[in-house]
Amino acid sequence: MQNQAQHLRIDKIALLTGAKIYGDPSVEIDHLAKIEEAGPGALTFLYLASYEKYFEITKATAIFVKNGFKRTRDDIIYLEVHDPNKAFLTVLISHFSPEFNLVGQAKSAYVHPSALVDVNTALGENVYIGAGCRIEKNTKIYPNTVIMDNVTIGEHCLIYPNVTVRENCIIHNNVILHSGCVIGSDGFGYVPGPEKRYIKIPQIGNVILEDNVEIGANTTIDRAALGSTVIKAGTKLDNLVQVAHNVVIGENTVLSAQAGISGSTKIGNHCIIAGQVGVVGHIEIADNVVIGAQSGISKAITKSGMYFGSPAKEHKTALKNEAHIRNLENYVERIKKLEARLTALESITKNEHEQQGQ
Tell how far CA 79 is from the center of its chain: 30
* DSSP output for 82-104: S-HHHHHHHHIIIIISPPP---S
What residues does 31 pair with on adjacent strands?
A: 42
Supply the Cα-derived Rg of the chain in whole angstroms.
29
Task: Please state, as a whole number, how many other Cβ atoms lie within 10 Å of the Cβ of residue 294.
Answer: 14
Q: Are 18 and 81 in contact (CB under 8 A)?
A: yes
The dihedral of CA 227, 232, 233, 238: what is its sign? negative
Give the orientation angle of helix 328-357 with respect to helix 315-326, to 10 degrees. 60
* DSSP output for 102-118: --SB-TT-EE-TT-EE-
- 237 CB-contact burial (10 Å; exposed 0-12 / middle 13-18 / buried 19+): buried
* DSSP output for 208-275: EE-TT-EE-TT-EEEPPSSSEEEE-TT-EE-TT-EE-TT-EE-TT-EE-TT-EE-TT-EE-TT-EE-T
Sheet of 62-66, strands arranged across:
20-22, 77-81, 62-66, 42-45, 31-32
Which residues are catalytically annotated? 245
Of the candidates 268, 263, 218, the residue with the CA atom closest to the CA atom of residue 238: 218
Distance from C-alpha of 41 to C-alpha of 43, rounded to nearest angstrom:
7
Of the candidates 247, 170, 156, 257, the residue with the CA atom closest to the CA atom of residue 207: 170
3-state secondary structure of 310: coil
